[in-house]
Amino acid sequence: MSPLDIPLWAVRLRTEREARLWDVPDMARELRQLAPDLPDITTLARMIRKWEAGQHLPGARYQLLYVRALGIPRDRLFALPSPPSRVLNQTITLPASEVARFGAWVEATNLGPATLDYYASTVTRLAHDYLHQPPAPLLSMAAELAKDLFSVLQSGHQRLDQRRELYATAAKLCAFMAWAAGDLGRVVDAEAYARTAVVLAEQADIPAARALALSAQSKTAFWDHHHREAAVLARQGFECSLNDSMKVFLALQEADAWQELGNIPRALQALRDAEIARADVARPDELGGLFSCGIARQCNYTMTVHLRAADPDKAITSAELALNAYRQGEEQAYGTWAQIHIGLAHAYLITRQLEAAQSFLVPVLKEPVERHLAPVVTRVLEIGQFLAQSRYRDDPYAQSLREQIDDYRPTTQARKGEIRGRVPDA
């Protein structure tokens, strides 16, 4: 059965399930909670997939359970085409006044261009402010904006072009919230925001918005240790991305995921894709700020791959190029700056230059607690793990660094137990 042949009620079942961020087993559990005598979850999930594919209509009992689970009237959820009329030679008329009223309703909207611009510009400002400000207050602001925007979408009436623009803006906003929540260690929230961002971007059918959403989803999968999924999502975003710096960044995210899996050849290929994408950049970024990729950010990811490949000299070269980009005026993001310094510290530890390692790590350790982003804390703790090796036990620089790392307490912004052993013991 082609997608065009799937009946409307089947499409509606899937759409309503996905709108609640439920996967198929979740839907099965919802139905079974209402009727514990139903088949097991696996069997129910198989039935649900067949219903959503339009292979056959759920029976009367399952229809009623769906109505209760989704809170949608049966006649709207399972509306079926009416049988053709048997009355022949009967003229059906519709008053012109009623048609005119419907035309006026179609033209009407509860949204003006100023409001659309307000939503879009506020999301852009949040993405740029994120480079310099702590994530928690910005996430709170984004949540308030999201409530307002969702309310407009759910309760209002907009023209199709306006609705599409609203979906795109909401997708960008949810992608931003996913990124911020992940940096605060709120991975469950980040996953929900990222999934919703992808759904909204697909409704808007705007490739650049979908690329942003997939980038956020890839980042969330990475920090939740689903590295292969992170690589696949980043590649999907790369393929649909336009020629802006987000295409570069998505290739770098793919490289980061592959290096974490130990697949250096694929990571290096992704780095080459990033170089090609950089040369092909031909348009401004869709959102910019957090969702842009300058030379420093690119060099930071390149450094990470070289560290994983046990090539500290190339890692140091990449990190110095990143810092030089900042010195030449490229906009600096705290998270990237911190990770460059941590990467340099790791590279100098591998080459047994502990004094140099300390000089780069200490500025990160002295940052205020509101800048203790989850990825940064995790990588600082990796340094502590590296320094716990017996060969550093009596080294004064190593001892000093261990003490300072002990004082750099993981806050509630970072989940404990996330040390991932990024750098090999060389």
Residues 52 and 116 in one domain: no
pLDDT band per the 50, 70, 90 thresholds, residue 277: very high
In a domain, 270, yes or no: no
Distance of alpha carbon 298 from alpha carbon 318, whole angstroms:
9
pLDDT value at residue 174? 94
Mean pLDDT, rounded, for 200-209:
90
Mean pLDDT, rounded, for 174-179:
93
pLDDT band per the 50, 70, 90 thresholds, residue 420: very low
- The domain that holds 390 is classified in CATH as 1.25.40
Number of domains present in the structure of the chain: 3
pLDDT band per the 50, 70, 90 thresholds, residue 139: very high
Distance of alpha carbon 360 from alpha carbon 349, whole angstroms:
11
- Interval 298-350: pLDDT, tens: 999 999 999 899 999 999 999 999 999 999 998 888 888 999 999 999 999 88
Residues 65 and 151 in one domain: no
Residues 254 and 309 in one domain: no
- The domain that holds 18 is classified in CATH as 1.10.260
pLDDT band per the 50, 70, 90 thresholds, residue 132: confident
- Interval 374-390: pLDDT, tens: 888 888 888 888 888 87
377 C-beta neighbours (distance < 10 Å), count: 25
- The domain that holds 197 is classified in CATH as 1.25.40.10
In a domain, 269, yes or no: no
pLDDT value at residue 81? 53
Spatial contact of 293 and 246, defined as CB atoms under 8 Å apart: yes
Indicate the range of 49-58, 217-226, 301-310, 361-370 predicted with least confidence: 361-370
pLDDT band per the 50, 70, 90 thresholds, residue 77: confident
In this predicted structure, the answer to whether residue 230 has a pLDDT above a threshold of 70 is yes
Residues 127 and 225 in one domain: yes
Q: What percent of the chain has pLDDT over 90?
A: 45
Give Dmax (Cα) for the chain. Answer: 101
For residue 218, give the nearest of 246, 184, 242, 245 by alpha carbon: 246
Residues 137 and 245 in one domain: yes
pLDDT band per the 50, 70, 90 thresholds, residue 104: low
In this predicted structure, the answer to whether residue 206 has a pLDDT above a threshold of 60 is yes
Mean pLDDT, rounded, for 156-174:
88
pLDDT value at residue 95? 66
Q: Domain of 387?
A: 294-426
In a domain, 267, yes or no: no
Residues 120 and 254 in one domain: yes
Residues 161 and 231 in one domain: yes
- Greater confidence (140 vs 93) lies with 140
In a domain, 317, yes or no: yes
In a domain, 171, yes or no: yes
pLDDT value at residue 290? 87
In this predicted structure, the answer to whether residue 265 has a pLDDT above a threshold of 90 is yes
Residues 308 and 419 in one domain: yes
pTM > 0.95: no
Residues 413 and 298 in one domain: yes
In 140-224, the DSSP E strands lie at: none
Distance of alpha carbon 38 from alpha carbon 46, whole angstroms:
13
User: What letters, b where the CB count within 10 A reaches 16 and e where it falls short, cover 280-312?
Assistant: ebeeebbbbbbbbbbbbbbbbbbbbbbbbbebb
In a domain, 95, yes or no: no
Mean pLDDT, rounded, for 228-256:
93
Both structure tokens of 406: 């002990």
Residues 36 and 146 in one domain: no
Indicate the range of 100-114, 218-232, 284-298, 303-317 predicted with least confidence: 100-114
In a domain, 12, yes or no: yes
Residues 331 and 219 in one domain: no
Residues 246 and 313 in one domain: no
Q: Among the three residues 205, 233, 258, which one is the final residue of a domain in this structure?
A: 258
Compute the mean pLDDT over every residue in the chain, rounded to the nearest whole number. 84
In this predicted structure, the answer to whether residue 158 has a pLDDT above a threshold of 90 is no
In a domain, 87, yes or no: no
pLDDT value at residue 92? 57
